[in-house]
Amino acid sequence: MSETKRVAVVTGASRGLGLVIARALGDRGYGLVINARDPNALAGAAGELAHSAPAVRRVAGDITDASTRMAVIEAARGMGAGLDVLVNNASELGGIGPLVTFDERRFSRLFPVNVGAPLALIQLAAPLMRGRPGLIVNITSDAATAAYAGWGPYGAAKAALELLTRTLAAELRDEGIAAVLVDPGDMRTRMHQEAFPGEDISDRPLPEATLGFWNWLFDQHPADISGLRFAAQQEDPRWVQQA
């Protein structure tokens, strides 16, 4: 495989928001490494992305698995150009319910998926991103900053991810690596449907509604936006929600 000039990794990229982000990066000439748990859905996404991206490599597997994370980084390394963008989009809702009765086993799964795996992947990716400059994008939620009844476990995990992201932005600035948070807003996705079982969510926008934001974000110099939090469906210009 020939080397590409820019490389991006997107987790949770077989459908929904992750596929939209990967599509935006591929259209901009990034070689892509995409990850998701469902190998068939991931293969379909790779086939679509191959029409625009200069190179696409797919790694199927649970991102909480260390071997999956290593395979993702090795795929990026194999493209021969370092790593410019890492998007930690893979996430898990874990169900909706009050904290006092929430199943402990489900709760203990949320932090490895939504916090531990992104951090572990960042640790592996950092050596490939130093001095590029590199950009880490962690997907968050308004549940991280608001006390929505029933959303406590998921919101707690996302709140932890937000603090880690801001800390990473401070720690990695001198190494040429930026870290930002993006709240994509309510969307018509499978995960959002899981939060409202049996309800009609057709009034929510599709993930493609965020495409303008992604095109803007990937035009910015990483150092200029590091440490910021963005709302992807907020009115242009700038999308900055919180520093």
Catalytic annotation, residues: 154
Distances (CA, A) of 25 to 10, 101, 142: 9, 41, 25
Domains, the chain, in order of start with CATH, read 7-242 (3.40.50.720)
| Among candidate residues 92, 116, 115, 89, the one with its CA nearest the CA of residue 11 | 89
Q: What's the distance, CA 193 to chain centroid? A: 19
H-run or E-run covering 235: none
pLDDT computed for residue 58 by the predictor: 98
pLDDT computed for residue 170 by the predictor: 97
pLDDT computed for residue 123 by the predictor: 98
Q: How far apart are CA 144 and CA 159, in angstroms?
A: 4
Largest Cα–Cα separation, the chain: 54
H-run or E-run covering 55: none
pLDDT computed for residue 214 by the predictor: 95
pLDDT computed for residue 35 by the predictor: 98
List the chain residues with pLDDT less than 70: 1-4, 187-204, 234-243
